[in-house]
Amino acid sequence: MELELRHLRLIVTVAEQGSVTRAATALGLTQPALTAQLNRIDNTFGAAVFTRDQRGARPTALGEFVLARAKVLLPAMAALVEDAHTIVSGTQVRASSVRVGTASTALGGLFVNRLISELEVEVTSVTLPDVDGVTDQLASGALDIALVGLCGTAEPPAADGVRWSRVSTDPVFVLVPDDHPLAVRPVVTLGDLADAEWFGVTGAGCFQRCFVTACARAGFTPGKVSEADRAACVDLVRAGHGVALVQPTFPDTPGVSVVPLAGAPLHWAHHVGWRDESAALPVEGIVEAAAGAHAEAVSRSSPRFVDWLAPGHNRGAMPRE
C-alpha cells in the first residue's frame, strides 16, 4: 500500500480523538474498517503508529514522528489547492513567505520585523558581506527582497530583473569614547580627528574613496584605517583605540558618543530591492516597510541625530541626487 494524504488525515484524527471508536465516528467509518486501515498503515511503515488498548489509542515514537510531518503536509496541501483554485479564477496569489537579504545596513532587523507584522508574511533572512553578493542572489532568484546600505553617492549594482528604490540618505557621524575631549562638542570636523585611528570604514563601493577624499579636503591624510563590524567598533572605540564612522541611526550605547561631522562630508544611503518576476510581492508595502524601518531607527537613535534633523539646524549640505 502507498501512503496517501487520506491516511495522514486518518492518523491525525485518531490522535486527536484518542480512541479508535471515537475516531471512527468522526470519520464516518465503522470501527472494524478503521482498524483495518490502521493495520495497513502499520504494515506500510513496518511498525505500529499507535498503541491501542482498552485505554484508547496513543501515538508510539513512530506515530509522533508521522504526526509531526502530517501536521505540516496537510495544511501545505490545503494551501496548494486553495492557491491553485485562486489562479484558475484569475485572482493573483499573494506571496506567503519571502527570502530577504541584507548588507551594510543597521536596519535589517527593523525591516524584517515590519515585513512580518505589516505584510503578514513568513520571512527567512540572511546577512551577506557585500551588496554585490545580495544583488547576485536577487538576480538568481535565491532572494526575493533586499535591503542594502551604500555610500550616499553610489547606486546598487544593475542586474537583469532587479529593481531598486532609494529609502533614505543620511549623514555619516563619528563614534568617540565618552571621555574623549570631542565627545561633548555639538559637532566636530574631520580635521579635529586628523591624528585618530579609524574603524568601521567599509571597503565596499566608493565609501572608502569618499572618506579619503573628504580627509584630503580637510587637509590631512588618514593614518591607520581598519574595517570592523558594529560590535567590534563599539568595543574598540570604548577602549580608546580609535574612532569609528557610523550610521547616524546608531543607538545610544554606554561608553561611546555619536557626534555629527560639520558640513556632512560623508553620507550613507539605504536602498530596497526586489525581483521583477516576484509578481506576488506587494512592492508598495515592501518600500513602505523599509521607510518605516528607517523612521523607527531614527526615533530610537542618538539625540544628536534627532537634533541634527531638526528644522533650522546648521547641518551642512546634503548630497546631490
Summarised one tens digit per residue, pLDDT across range 142-171 is: 898 999 998 888 889 999 889 999 999 999
Residue 83, pLDDT score? 63
- How many CB atoms are located within 10 Å of the residue 129 CB? 11
Residue 69 has pLDDT above 70, yes or no: yes
Check: CB of residue 315 under 8 Å from CB of residue 171: yes
What would the grid cell of residue 63 be? 506515530
Q: Report the DSSP beta bridge partners of residue 252.
A: none
State the DSSP code for 180.
S
Question: What number is the average pLDDT over the span 217-230?
Answer: 86
Residue 285, pLDDT score? 87
**In whole angstroms, what is the distance from residue 9 CA to residue 87 CA?**
26
Residue with more model confidence, 84 or 129: 129
Check: CB of residue 296 under 8 Å from CB of residue 111: no
Question: What number is the average pLDDT over the span 178-186?
Answer: 92
Which residue, among 226, 249, 247, 230, has the nearest Cα to 238 in the 3D structure? 230
Instruction: Give residue-wise pLDDT tens across range 25-48.
Output: 988 888 888 899 899 999 999 999
Residue 321 has pLDDT above 90, yes or no: no
pLDDT band at 320 (very low <50, low <70, confident <90, very high): very low
Rounded to two decimals, the pTM is: 0.65
pLDDT band at 278 (very low <50, low <70, confident <90, very high): low
Residue 305, pLDDT score? 81
Check: CB of residue 173 under 8 Å from CB of residue 270: no
Residue 235, pLDDT score? 94
Question: What number is the average pLDDT over the span 107-128?
Answer: 87
CA distances from 237 to 157, 162, 183, 221, 256 (A): 32, 38, 12, 20, 7
State the DSSP code for 239.
T
Residue 302 has pLDDT above 50, yes or no: yes
Residue with more model confidence, 313 or 270: 270
pLDDT band at 217 (very low <50, low <70, confident <90, very high): very high
Question: What number is the average pLDDT over the span 209-221?
Answer: 91
Residue with cell 565596499: 204
What would the grid cell of residue 288 be? 513602505
Q: What is the mean pLDDT of the chain?
A: 85
Residue 311 has pLDDT above 80, yes or no: no
Q: What percent of the chain has a predicted confidence (pLDDT) above 70?
A: 89
Check: CB of residue 233 under 8 Å from CB of residue 260: no
Instruction: Give residue-wise pLDDT tens across range 93-109.
Output: 455 678 899 988 889 99
**In whole angstroms, what is the distance from residue 218 CA to residue 221 CA?**
9
Residue 204, pLDDT score? 56
Instruction: Give residue-wise pLDDT tens across range 232-256.
Output: 889 999 999 999 998 888 778 899 9
Question: What number is the average pLDDT over the span 224-231?
Answer: 81
Residue 315 has pLDDT above 60, yes or no: no
pLDDT band at 280 (very low <50, low <70, confident <90, very high): low
CA distances from 154 to 9, 144, 196, 240, 293 (A): 55, 22, 26, 32, 21
| CB proximity list for 233: less than 8 A, separation 6 or greater | 175, 199, 200, 244, 246
pLDDT band at 279 (very low <50, low <70, confident <90, very high): low
Strand ranges (E), the chain: 50-53, 56-59, 97-103, 122-127, 145-151, 162-171, 173-177, 198-199, 225-226, 243-246, 256-259, 267-275
Which residue, among 78, 55, 57, 53, has the nearest Cα to 11 in the 3D structure? 57
Residue 64 main-chain phi, psi, to 5 deg: -60, -40
Question: What number is the average pLDDT over the span 115-139?
Answer: 87
Residue 316, pLDDT score? 45
The HSE-up count of residue 230 (CA atoms within 13 Å, CB side) is 13
